[in-house]
């Protein structure tokens, strides 16, 4: 087969490949997995050791510290935190994120070797994961708890669970209490000489069913079971209990309370009614947006069928974030596709060209999604960004291809392929630059280790996108152009230059003629903008998706009932819903506190700042009946206790300094205006664990009463808290039976001292068998990166004083007490600052090596693809110019820098680099017969700028509505459009103005060997300034009077062709003439 015969098969092959791309797009639309986050491990590990019988100090010395040193020796850990307590140790390890190695295998192998030499009975390694398959969280609410609970379990859960794609439905039934409660009668226990342990022991011995034997053989065999289970409260009350006086029924010793169907210890409250929570999970391989729609339809049907018995409302729509991101990103890509297709059709005056441009863009994007589907890459919040990025690059490659072919007249198959081949070289160079920069970012510590796993999708998507780019725009589209447009395009649309067009052309020529100067100014302005604005742009963790949520807590007054808590929750919800920023709220109410879960409106609709909103929330929750407003927590940053942290390398020295801080606080007797102490409850720890009493048995007394320590402890435990005594069967369900003492009987330590302990010598009070003393809470030793950490806290009656007191304490302690070197006393703000400084520690060597490798890769690729390194160097030089613009874009639209914002910046950089390299490739084709370099650049710009403007204009129009927040639920993905919009506007200037200016400057340096030095730059600035002065003087003179006596108009100045107008003198005008114009422009 000769070349001509083989070329004749190309149209059929192109059509076949186009059909394959369309099939891939359809397959991705129908079968591609769409989920919130991929199943991807995070670089954070937790190691738990079990060392039974060892004290906290022994665990720290024998287990935690050796394990920490062994883990550090692997070189994987960025940060190690250890926690040692009696009987166990836990170590948290944050590792460097590795693209090509598995840290878990190394860590697990090291721990396996270590565990053999440690005094531990068991150890376990766990790793965090990014996966999230939640579809939504629904609340079933109504007037009766039992009704809504039964509906949630039997109607709602079963109906939703039957939907294809739903993996499971979890019902949170804490609002309903299914329990039989036995309350002891202490007087009756004393009468019959029983302890709670005696009664509980006899009840727990009742087995539900036991096999006792069988009779007969074969098919006639009958199995006999002994059934002693309770089936009703009456049967439970008749249970016989053995005493010294004989057997008595259980109801004599206890009050039996049937709590089946009553409210639980904590109740969900929604719209003033009790509620039951339901969480819906999607199955692996499913599409969450479609499942979400099916679930919402099913919920609507259930609400209609309920007829007022209950109501189902969506409390937290997890899949909505993904659905909105897919929807808005899809619309952005569609608008970009339509804009570029329209521009191609208008400029080339061909409907078929516009249609083919539209088809090629859709085909390329669909093939990219199909390739991801075949490779098992799901469409998630971490992969939508790379897909949108390549959709932008597809548009940036398609428009120049159509313009190049359209300028050749009648397109032949060979010419179309040649044009596509030449275009693919700069396009591939742009992709190499993008991939090299992203790889450099992901292999250094520039980005946080916890954020890097969310960027792993960009590399495989880049590989698939490159293959699609070569296949679609390197082969399919040029073949189809030659086949479908054999007569070529109509005459290209030539715009008539108006006043502003000529003015812009004049300014463009003047700016380009200044060579490197505009680039230097733009670079300086951009870097200054980064320095000024970067601290004002909020940075969100890349895995954060709950930016519109907020949690508040409000304490109830001691002694409140669950019904009073629900009434308080109802009143608070009404006040919170009155705020414009609060879209919805539900409450978890208990006797102790109220926890409000707020769903906030999108940030675009807020009328207050976050600080003002928190103040308004605090104001709204004041004076709620039966609540304590002084124990309210509105913000996570709000401190309710004074906290001082002591750090140091030695356990005993650090603890000693911490005890000195406690003593220092105890000596501060500051009084408020009422004469009460401001600082109280000084202690080691957070102060939220209550009071500890050490009970030490008296061995001689135990011997006298002939009772063992184990027996005393067993009987004492039976008095404390709620005990489980068994289960009762009801309606084929197992109902737990619990036993407790009456309220107010076992709430104070003095009541525990009077517990009667049965001994062979008679009943005796517990306080006679043991010594009692106050003690500290069980020691828990924490270490962070080799330093022991002790927290000292105290209660402060005036919360506004907390920050000032904590700051002054650390400095006063350092002044009054000599602190050894290496030990630190830190306030909360100082601790936060130290943690930020530790996070900002940089690996300069790693960054240098990664940067050098990226630059070397780009330069080698530029040399291989374009036979010159200049294009790669210029493209790299343009990247810093973009940084200030994208930073300003996020600040202008008030968007955080999150994972979608990162991809928006990457997309802006990618399209700028792509168009700049394509433009540079055209500039390199400058004809040698041009009179000057600027004339050659002007000629090539006239051919290239329409395509550039088409791409950038379509991209600007596509991004504008989404950057302005016109979509619903766009708080998560709007930063993509915001960064891309401003980046595109800046890229227009960078590509159309700075790129030819830098090219002109580089050509001057190459031809005339002008060294780039400080004096040369100073001379260039001086020349530019003097020319500007002369230009301003001439302009003022023309405005005063024209030569014919009439006022001079600007239209007269622009009628003269640009090539004939006088220009300012430069050094080129004073150089000796070369042999010929051809030689001067080589």
How would you label 871-902 residue by residue, b for 16+ Cβ within 10 Å and e otherwise?
Answer: bbebbbbbbebbbbbbbbbbbebbbbbbbbbb
Q: What pLDDT sits at residue 989?
A: 92
What pLDDT, on the 0 to 100 scale, is given for residue 766?
87
499 and 460 both lie in a single domain? yes
3-class SS shares of the chain: helix, strand, coil, % to 5: 55, 20, 25
pLDDT value at position 1050?
Answer: 40
Q: Are 276 and 149 in contact (CB under 8 A)?
A: yes
Q: What is the dihedral of CA 417, 988, 912, 972, to 10 degrees?
A: -120
Domain that holds residue 69: 41-129
CATH code: domain of residue 119? 3.30.70.1430
Q: Domains in the chain: how many in total?
A: 6
Q: Distances from the Cα of 137 to the Cαs of 281, 312, 544, 568, in angstroms?
A: 9, 10, 18, 24
Give the residue-averaged pLDDT of 178-193: 87
Q: Closest Cα to residue 209, out of 230, 237, 240, 238? A: 230
pLDDT given at position 927: 58
CA–chain centroid gap for 604, Å, is: 20
Q: Judging by beta carbons within 10 Å of its beta carbon (0-12, 13-18, 19+), is residue 31 exposed, middle or buried?
A: exposed
Examine residue 588 and state whether it is found in any structural domain, yes or no.
Answer: yes
Residue 244 has φ and ψ, to the nearest 5°, of: -65, -20
- Strand 733-740 relative to strand 180-184, pairing: parallel
- Both tokens of 528, joined, read 């200054």
Tokens of 691: 């009071």
- pTM of the prediction? 0.84
Whole-number pLDDT of residue 1076: 45
pLDDT tens for each residue of 644-677: 888 999 888 998 888 888 888 888 777 777 777 7
pLDDT tier for residue 1079 given thresholds of 50, 70 and 90: very low
Same domain (yes/no): 917, 1033: no
Q: How confident is the model at residue 731 (pLDDT cuts 50, 70, 90)?
A: confident
Structure-block tokens of residue 846: 């790693």
CB atoms within 10 A of CB 1006: 11
> How does pLDDT run across 789-801, given as a tens digit for each residue?
988 888 777 766 7
Helix (H, G, I), strand (E, B) or coil at 100: coil
Q: How many CB atoms lie within 10 A of CB 651?
A: 18
Tell me the average pLDDT across 681-704.
81
- Residue 746: both structure tokens together: 């076992």
Using DSSP's 3-state secondary structure scheme, residue 1076 falls into: coil
Q: Is pLDDT above 50 for 1045?
A: no
Per-residue pLDDT for 1061 more than 70?
A: no
Any domain includes 253: no
Cβ atoms of 36 and 288 closer than 8 Å:
yes
480 with 347, same domain? Answer: yes
Q: Residue 477's closest CA among 571, 360, 381?
A: 360
The CATH number of the domain where 152 resides is what? Answer: 3.30.70.1320
In which residue are the tokens 């939504």 written? 136
Last residue within a domain, chosen from 822, 855, 877: 822
Task: Place 694 in a pLDDT band, splitting at 50, 70 and 90.
Answer: confident
Residues 6+ apart with CB under 8 A from 668: 679
Is the domain of 1004 the same as that of 1020?
no
State whether 390 and 470 are in the same domain: yes
Selected residue with higher pLDDT from 279 and 637 = 279
Structure tokens at 67: 């394990």
CA dist., res. 490 & res. 77, Å (int): 64
In a domain, 64, yes or no: yes
Helix (H) or strand (E) holding 421: helix 413-442
For the chain, what is the mean pLDDT? 84
Question: 763 lies in a domain?
Answer: no
Average pLDDT rounded to a whole number, residues 816-837: 81
Say if CB 469 and CB 364 are below 8 A apart. Answer: yes
Please tell me whether residues 999 and 1019 are part of one structural domain. Answer: no
What integer pLDDT is reported at residue 1053 of this predicted model?
Answer: 44
Q: Smallest Cα–Cα separation from 636: which of 833, 840, 894, 828? A: 828
Same domain, 101 and 155: no
* Beta carbons within 8 Å of 489's beta carbon, 6+ residues apart: 348, 349, 350, 353, 405, 406, 411
Report d(CA 539, CA 900) in Å as an integer: 12
Give, as one character, the DSSP assignment of residue 969. Answer: T
For the cut 70, the answer to whether the pLDDT of residue 184 exceeds it is yes
**611-620, 625-634, 717-726, 850-859: the lowest-pLDDT one:** 625-634
Same-domain pairing of 359 and 392: yes
pLDDT at 243: 87
- Token pair recorded at residue 696: 């030490």
Mean pLDDT of 475-484: 89
User: Rounded CA gap, 341 and 254, in Å?
Assistant: 83
Domain boundary among 983, 1008, 1033: 1008
User: Between these two residues, 722 and 464, which has the higher pLDDT value?
Assistant: 464
| Residue whose C-alpha is closest to residue 137's, from 262, 264, 299 | 299
**Whether 331 and 414 share a structural domain:** yes
Is residue 246 in some structural domain? no
Does residue 969 sit in the same domain as residue 1075?
Answer: no
Q: What is the pLDDT of residue 399?
A: 92
CA distances from 432 to 424, 645, 882, 916 (A): 12, 49, 18, 14
Most confident listed range (89-103, 407-421, 653-667, 872-886): 872-886
User: CA 712 to CA 756: how far, in whole Å?
Assistant: 10
Q: Is residue 915 assigned to a domain?
A: yes
CA distances from 78 to 312, 454, 839, 842 (A): 46, 18, 10, 12
* Tens-digit pLDDT profile for residues 971-1012: 788 899 999 999 999 999 999 999 999 988 888 777 765 555
In this model, does residue 270 exceed pLDDT 90? yes
State the DSSP string of 909-926.
HHHHHHHHHHHHHHHTT-
3-class DSSP assignment, residue 930: coil
Residue 709 lies in a domain: no
Pairing type for strands 77-85 and 781-784 reads antiparallel
Q: Which whole number is the average pLDDT over 566-582? A: 91
Residue 228 resides in a domain: no
- 254: CB partners within 8 A, 6+ apart: 182, 183, 184, 185, 199, 739
CA angle 739, 742, 746 (to 5 degrees): 95
Q: Which residue has the tokens 């920050």?
A: 803
Q: What local confidence, expressed as pLDDT, does residue 275 receive?
A: 93
| Structure confidence at residue 1072 (pLDDT) | 59
327 and 348, same domain (yes or no): yes
User: Please, what is the Cα angle at 750 between 749 and 755, to 5 degrees?
Assistant: 95
Structure tokens at 318: 């997890």
Averaged pLDDT, 151-155: 90
Whether the per-residue pLDDT at 1081 is higher than 60: the answer is no
Given a cut of 90, whether residue 370 has pLDDT beyond it is yes
Per-residue b or e along 684-721, where b marks 16 or more CB atoms closer than 10 Å to that residue's CB: bbebeeeeeeebebeeeebeebebeeeebeebbebbee
pLDDT at 280 (0 to 100) = 94
Are 860 and 898 found together in one domain? Answer: yes
- Which of 52 and 687 is assigned the larger pLDDT? 52
Give the whole-angstrom CA distance, residue 769 versus residue 697. 6
Residue where a domain stops, chosen among 90, 112, 129: 129
Query: Which of 397, 437, 454, 389 is closest to 41 using CA atoms?
Result: 454
Answer for the pair 204, 725: CB distance below 8 angstroms, yes or no.
yes
Measured distance CA(249)–CA(208) in Å, rounded: 19
Average pLDDT of 206-227?
A: 74
Q: End-to-end alpha-carbon separation of the chain, Å?
A: 43
**pLDDT at residue number 101:** 67
Rounded to the nearest 10 degrees, what angle do helices 610-620 and 562-577 cross at? 140
593-617 confidence digits (pLDDT tens): 999 999 988 877 888 888 888 888 8
Decide: 634 and 614 in contact? Cβ < 8 Å.
yes
pLDDT at 639: 65
Please give the angle made by the CA atoms of 108, 111 and 112, to the nearest 5 degrees: 85
Q: What percent of the chain has pLDDT over 90?
A: 31
- pLDDT tens-digit readout, 446-467: 888 788 888 888 999 999 999 9
The 3-state secondary structure of 523-578 reads HHHHHHHHHHHHHHCCECCCCCCCCCEEEEEEEECCCCCHHHHHHHHHHHHHHHHC
Distance CA(423)–CA(400), nearest Å, equals: 8
Tokens of 134: 């939640």
For the chain, helix (H) and strand (E) counts, in that order, are: 38, 32
Q: Is the pLDDT of residue 93 over 60?
A: yes
How many other C-beta atoms can be found within 10 angstroms of the C-beta atom of residue 450?
A: 17
DSSP H or E run through 747:
none
Tens digits of residue pLDDT in 919-965: 998 888 765 556 777 888 888 888 888 889 999 999 999 999 988 87
E-assigned strands of 910-1011?
Answer: none
502-537 pLDDT, tens digit per residue, is: 888 888 888 888 888 889 899 999 999 888 888 888
Q: Name the token pair of 693.
A: 């009493």
By CB atoms closer than 10 A (0-12, 13-18, 19+), residue 1024 is middle
User: Are 923 and 940 within 8 A, CB to CB?
Assistant: yes
Per-residue tokens: 490 = 């109509």
| CA neighbours closer than 13 Å in the CB half-sphere of residue 791 | 18
């Amino acid at each position: 087969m000769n070349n001509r015969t083989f070329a004749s098969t190309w149209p059929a092959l192109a059509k076949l490949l186009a059909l394959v791309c369309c099939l891939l797009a359809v397959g991705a639309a129908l079968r591609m997995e769409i989920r919130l986050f991929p199943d991807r491990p995070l670089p954070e590990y937790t190691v738990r050791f079990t060392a039974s019988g060892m004290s906290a100090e022994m665990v720290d010395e024998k287990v935690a510290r050796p394990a920490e040193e062994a883990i550090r020796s692997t070189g994987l850990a960025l940060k190690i935190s250890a926690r040692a307590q009696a009987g166990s140790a836990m170590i948290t390890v944050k590792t460097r994120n590795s693209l090509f190695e598995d840290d878990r295998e190394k860590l697990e192998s090291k721990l396996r070797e270590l565990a053999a030499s440690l005094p531990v009975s068991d150890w376990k390694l766990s790793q965090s994961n990014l996966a999230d398959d939640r579809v939504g969280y629904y609340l079933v609410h109504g007037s009766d708890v039992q009704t809504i609970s039964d509906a949630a379990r039997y109607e709602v859960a079963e109906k939703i669970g039957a939907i294809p794609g739903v993996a499971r439905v979890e019902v949170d039934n804490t609002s309903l209490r299914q329990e039989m409660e036995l309350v002891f009668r202490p007087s009756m226990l004393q009468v019959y000489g029983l302890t709670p342990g005696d009664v509980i022991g006899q009840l727990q011995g009742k087995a539900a069913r036991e096999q006792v034997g069988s009779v007969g053989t074969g098919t006639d065999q009958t199995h006999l079971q002994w059934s002693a289970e309770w089936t009703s409260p009456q049967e439970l009350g008749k249970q016989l209990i053995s005493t010294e006086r004989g057997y008595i029924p259980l109801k004599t010793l206890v009050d039996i309370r049937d709590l089946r169907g009553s409210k639980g210890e904590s109740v969900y409250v929604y719209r003033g009614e009790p509620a039951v929570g339901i969480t819906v999970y999607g199955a692996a391989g499913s599409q969450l947006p479609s499942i979400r729609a099916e679930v919402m339809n099913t919920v609507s049907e259930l609400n209609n069928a309920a007829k007022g018995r209950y109501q189902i409302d969506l409390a937290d729509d997890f899949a909505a974030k993904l659905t909105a991101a897919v929807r808005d990103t899809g619309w952005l890509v569609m608008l970009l596709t339509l804009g570029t297709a329209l521009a191609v059709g208008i400029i080339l005056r061909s409907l078929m060209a516009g249609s083919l441009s539209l088809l090629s863009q859709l085909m390329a994007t669909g093939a990219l999604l199909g390739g991801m589907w075949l490779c098992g890459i799901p469409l998630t919040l971490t992969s939508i960004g790379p897909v949108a990025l390549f959709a932008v690059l597809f548009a940036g490659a398609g428009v120049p291809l159509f313009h190049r072919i359209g300028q050749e007249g009648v397109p032949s198959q060979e010419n179309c392929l040649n044009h596509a081949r030449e275009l693919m070289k700069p396009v591939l160079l742009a992709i190499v630059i993008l991939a090299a920069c992203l790889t450099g970012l992901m292999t250094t510590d520039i980005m946080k280790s916890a954020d890097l796993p969310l960027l792993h999708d960009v590399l495989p998507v880049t590989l698939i996108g490159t293959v699609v780019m070569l296949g679609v725009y390197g082969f399919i589209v040029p073949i189809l152009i030659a086949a479908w447009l054999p007569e070529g395009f109509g005459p290209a649309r030539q715009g008539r230059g108006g006043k502003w067009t000529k003015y812009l052309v004049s300014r463009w020529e003047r700016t380009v003629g200044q060579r490197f100067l505009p680039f230097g100014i733009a670079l300086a302005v951009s870097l200054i903008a980064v320095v000024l604005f970067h601290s004002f742009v909020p940075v969100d963790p890349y895995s954060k998706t709950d930016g519109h949520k907020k949690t508040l807590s409000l304490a109830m007054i001691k002694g409140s009932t669950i019904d009073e808590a629900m009434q308080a929750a109802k009143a608070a919800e009404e006040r919170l819903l009155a705020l414009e920023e609060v879209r919805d709220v539900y409450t978890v109410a208990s006797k102790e506190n109220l926890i409000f879960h707020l769903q906030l409106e999108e940030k675009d609709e807020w009328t207050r700042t976050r600080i003002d909103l928190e103040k308004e929330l605090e104001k709204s929750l004041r004076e709620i009946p039966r609540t304590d407003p002084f124990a309210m927590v509105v913000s996570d940053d709000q401190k309710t206790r004074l906290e001082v942290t002591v750090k140091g390398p030695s356990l005993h020295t650090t603890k000693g300094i911490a005890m000195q801080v406690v003593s220092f606080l105890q000596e501060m007797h500051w009084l408020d205006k009422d004469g009460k102490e401001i600082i109280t409850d000084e202690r080691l720890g957070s102060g939220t664990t209550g009071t500890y009493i050490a009970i030490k048995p008296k061995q001689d007394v135990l011997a006298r009463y002939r009772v063992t320590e184990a027996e005393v402890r067993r009987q004492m435990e039976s008095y404390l808290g709620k005990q489980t005594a068994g289960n009762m069967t009801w309606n084929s369900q197992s109902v737990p039976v619990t036993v407790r003492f009456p309220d107010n009987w076992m709430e104070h330590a003095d009541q525990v001292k009077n517990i009667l302990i049965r001994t062979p010598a008679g009943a005796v009070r517990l306080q006679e068998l043991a010594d009692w003393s106050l003690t500290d809470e069980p020691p828990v030793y924490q270490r962070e990166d080799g330093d022991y950490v002790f927290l000292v806290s105290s209660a402060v009656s005036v919360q506004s004083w907390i920050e000032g007191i904590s700051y002054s304490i650390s400095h006063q302690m350092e002044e009054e007490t000599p602190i050894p070197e290496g030990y630190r006393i830190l306030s909360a703000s100082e601790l936060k600052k130290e943690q930020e400084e530790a996070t900002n520690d940089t690996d300069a060597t790693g960054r240098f090596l990664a940067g050098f490798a990226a630059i070397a890769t780009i330069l080698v690729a530029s040399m291989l693809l374009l036979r010159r390194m200049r294009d790669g160097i210029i493209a790299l030089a343009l990247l810093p110019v973009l940084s200030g613009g994208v930073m300003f874009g996020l600040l202008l639209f008030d968007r955080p820098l999150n994972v979608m914002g990162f991809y928006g910046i990457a997309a802006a950089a990618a399209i700028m680099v792509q168009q700049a390299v394509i433009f540079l490739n055209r500039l390199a084709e400058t004809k040698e017969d041009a009179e000057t370099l600027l004339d050659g650049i002007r000629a090539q710009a006239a051919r290239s700028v329409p395509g550039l403007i088409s791409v950038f204009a379509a991209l600007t129009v596509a991004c504008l509505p989404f950057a302005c927040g016109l979509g619903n639920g766009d708080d998560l993905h709007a930063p993509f459009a915001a960064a891309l919009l401003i980046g595109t506007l800046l890229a227009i200037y960078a590509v159309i103005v700075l790129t030819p200016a830098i090219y002109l400057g580089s050509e001057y340096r190459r031809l005339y060997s002008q060294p780039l030095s400080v004096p040369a730059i100073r001379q260039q600035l001086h020349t530019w300034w003097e020319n500007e002065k002369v230009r301003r003087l001439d302009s003022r003179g023309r405005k005063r009077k024209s030569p014919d006596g009439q006022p001079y108009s600007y239209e007269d100045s622009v009628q003269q062709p640009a090539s004939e107008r006088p220009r300012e003198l430069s050094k080129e005008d004073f150089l000796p003439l070369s042999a010929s114009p051809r030689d001067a422009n080589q």
